[in-house]
Amino acid sequence: MTERRISPHALGQAARRGVDEATLDRITGEPEQVIVVRPGREVRQSRIAGAEGKSYLVRVFVDIAPGRETVVTVYRTSKIAKYWRES
């Protein structure tokens, strides 16, 4: 079983950027897309609906070590096309 941890920095950034902890947990555990940045780090991202029908992309950066995942930062962007990878 992998231990999942959220760093204090990530919690602060999530609060500052309007991403609630439930959304952060959901995207970390079941993302729509996973992009490997480098060995040991990946971005897990999902599209979410925001206010007034606007869509956003929430990107969660996760460091991966044996038996442990640490969320290091998170942000929300309206530039979905810039970051979304088509298969």
How does pLDDT run across 34-64, given as a tens digit for each residue?
A: 999 999 999 999 999 987 889 999 999 999 9
**What is the chain's mean pLDDT, rounded?**
94
Task: Give the residue among 47, 56, 51 at the shortest CA–CA distance from 78.
Answer: 56
Pick the more confident residue, 30 or 1: 30
Q: What pLDDT does 1 receive?
A: 78
Topology (CATH) of 3-83: Nuclear Transport Factor 2; Chain: A, (3.10.450)
The tokens of 42 are what?
């990946």
Q: What pLDDT does 52 receive?
A: 81
Residue 2 has pLDDT above 70, yes or no: yes
Q: What pLDDT does 87 receive?
A: 67
